[in-house]
Structure 1
């Protein structure tokens, strides 16, 4: 074990690579303005290929918010994808963003660990956004004595890269985005409402395509909603399943293979029990796996805050959704002329009552939704000089992206000087997980070909 100021490291061998594990002590409030001097732990793993001790470093920023970094388990799986391709050229660092994994994790079972009151817990969580994640990365880079490094960001990880380029372009050598160019990065007046209007529009299109590809599925969704509005069906976690929560399975509509996954879930949902119509246990298990947040409460609690700059989000997803046909909480599943859509990344306040893992966070989520003094996450002037800083950038932008709309991503791309977009409809939002090696290779070639 090696110990340096604020950094502890251990080394082992896994999957044919040298693996360094780092634990860094960081201030909760960057840049150390917290009178209480609170600190948190930041954890990261570095994979080093044999003979690659002098390779440049690449930092991977995970999607989310609220999910820990990749945990490689088999050379033929994770290391056979983008990670294996990256290890041909880099030492790769997998960072647990603050609040996730081993970086002082926020656990659904212990909200009191963040503070004695909802207000104290909400204040704590304001320090878990992209700006603080970037400062953690810079602390780690400094502690490792590393020069500018390369960045790979998936989804929310790309939002973090945009913040990184805005705040510390001197720390970046190359930046690769996959489905993660945030909308309106050039406009500090952006409201979360603008983002959600765009994502709802994309989600409606995905629903219509799903219905067209799988005839009968629209009727099945209506039947399930109508049944849940009148029957007491329980998830394996014990709580009643409502029709509005069931519709959250629509997250799958934005993933490669998601149409098929949902079609299989919906192909035979009902069973007759003593003449009574009930939902099958395998169906309820499948729904539960898709709509619960016990393993990642931060995703739900912080989701709207990733779009917040300046004013309050005020439960934007709920307010906007209630104005759009097909996305209101209360639907008339029997009215064939009124659409009933499955939903996507649209967190609504009732979820904190219906999901047992989120109930302790309801007051905290309300306070975050009401916060009206969020700091800016992006700097348009600095982004416009990215190329002048010597940073090479490339981005995979998906035409059919349900979570990060194509049009908004391309608008942001036009404001990051030198960025080279790779536009494709071959993959959905999760392209990095489906063809990671090919996608990473393409982005690297684009960034180097200046």
Structure 2
């Protein structure tokens, strides 16, 4: 363990060895080093611990450049534990440069929320804590729901933002809901910016008939361009996309071309270079829910039910992952075969990550920010899951989109603290 001072706080780094597969015999299990950063406020060595469960999946814990907003609010009561989830950051990052064994389906299927919880339990024991509290944004809330299913006795309180997963809806039905909500957001976007739909269609037609090359060297297809719709689920997404789309073309030697700055910005939006695991394991986090076996590229199949989002459609798509992205994105090509195998993996009852009975009996008080217009984690499903908790106090809001905690983290966490205190 190393220790240093930063931002007037004590930073401790923890590294422990944990198994990849907790079902393997202990004497033969493959292992990796799990990393966590602890932030202790001045005089706060004895404050209780709050584990940060990162959204994603496939991304590491935050790397603070200062202590403000959400982190500062948490430090009023807790010391933060920022754990890099398995396969991310300093917890054995997996990407295109990793050995083939790390990119295998056998390894990818072990990166879901249930094993993240088991890693966290090993870390809690290493820290000598009988209990700790949990914070989770988005996928981090999925991890919390799994935590309270598997080890509720280790949890004091739980705070979730945009992260209450469906407990009984298979991924096909879930994506029917998210595509419907994405359609609403796209229509609202084009209502507020009436010129945008024509511009999107102009760009689609251009990309279908002209070769435009991204800074990373590959041709940009119209279907990949449409994945910039992820922004529609973020608080400033409408304005961000409108600025991007307002003047994308220029004329070069009499030929209509996309501007280089436009291609650069689109390239950064559609590339998974910073987090390829997000795409590689995304649908697997729903495996075993709703008694559905293989996810079988659910987003690709369900989009065909919505003409606006189908292959010939002209609506922007959201966080959904499609098999052709593993052909077109250089960062995903090394995962092509394993992602295909993971999509065909048959998830069974033993793979279930949530236990409704355990949630209903779990003693920890929970508080959750639930967003009415969330296109990532649907409101109706979140409320149904909230009702399954023994004691979850909801903060329901239409003020924020899915990334509300990045807009007003201190305000939201403060309200969740107040709700949890009121008992």
Confirm whether residue 181 of structure 1 aligns to residue 164 of structure 2: yes
Deviation of residue 109 (structure 1)?
A: 2.3
Deviation of residue 31 (structure 1)?
A: 4.5
Residues 197 and 34 from structure 1, CA distance in 2 versus in 1: closer, same or farther, beyond 3 angstroms? Answer: farther
Which of 282, 301, 304 in structure 2 is aligned with 1:319?
301
Confirm whether residue 424 of structure 1 aligns to residue 416 of structure 2: no
Which of 343, 360, 363 in structure 1 is aligned with 2:334?
360
Distance in 2, Cα, partners of 1:329 & 1:33: 46
Deviation of residue 445 (structure 1)?
A: 0.7
Post-superposition CA distance 1:392-428 (Å, at most 9, x none): 1000000111100111101111111110000001111
Distance in 1, Cα, partners of 2:264 & 2:373: 29
TM-score in terms of structure 1 length: 0.91
Which of 338, 355, 367 in structure 2 is aligned with 1:394?
367
Confirm whether residue 346 of structure 1 aligns to residue 316 of structure 2: no
Residues 111 and 252 from structure 1, CA distance in 2 versus in 1: closer, same or farther, beyond 3 angstroms? Answer: farther
Deviation of residue 34 (structure 1)?
A: 6.8
Which of 359, 364, 379 in structure 2 is aligned with 1:383?
359
Quote the residue 1:142 is aligned against.
Answer: 125
Post-superposition CA distance 1:203-258 (Å, at most 9, x none): 10110000011110000000000111111011110111011000000000000101
Distance in 1, Cα, partners of 2:323 & 2:357: 36
Distance in 2, Cα, partners of 1:180 & 1:400: 13
Distance in 2, Cα, partners of 1:10 & 1:239: 42
Quote the residue 1:12 is aligned against.
Answer: 4
Post-superposition CA distance 1:11-36 (Å, at most 9, x none): 11111100110001001111444774
Post-superposition CA distance 1:288-307 (Å, at most 9, x none): 11000011110000000011
**8 A Cα contact 1:111 1:361, kept in partner:** no
Distance in 2, Cα, partners of 1:324 & 1:283: 28
Q: Matches of residues 151-166 of structure 1 in structure 2 within 5 Å? A: 151-166=134-149
Confirm whether residue 235 of structure 1 aligns to residue 214 of structure 2: yes
Distance in 2, Cα, partners of 1:271 & 1:423: 45
Q: Would you identify which runs of 4 or more consecutive aligned residues in structure 1 move more than 6 Å?
A: none
Distance in 1, Cα, partners of 2:264 & 2:164: 34
Which of 99, 112, 128 in structure 2 is aligned with 1:129?
112
SS of 2:295's equivalent in the other structure is: coil
**8 A Cα contact 1:111 1:360, kept in partner:** no
Which of 407, 414, 418 in structure 2 is aligned with 1:434?
407
TM-score in terms of structure 2 length: 0.97
CA RMSD after TM alignment: 1.1
Deviation of residue 191 (structure 1)?
A: 1.8
Unaligned 5+ segments in structure 1 are 1-8, 116-120, 332-339
Q: Matches of residues 48-67 of structure 1 in structure 2 within 5 Å? A: 48-67=40-59
Unaligned 5+ segments in structure 2 are none
SS of 2:399's equivalent in the other structure is: coil
Post-superposition CA distance 1:85-106 (Å, at most 9, x none): 1101001100100000000110
Q: Matches of residues 323-342 of structure 1 in structure 2 within 5 Å? A: 323-331=305-313, 340-342=314-316
Distance in 2, Cα, partners of 1:51 & 1:344: 44
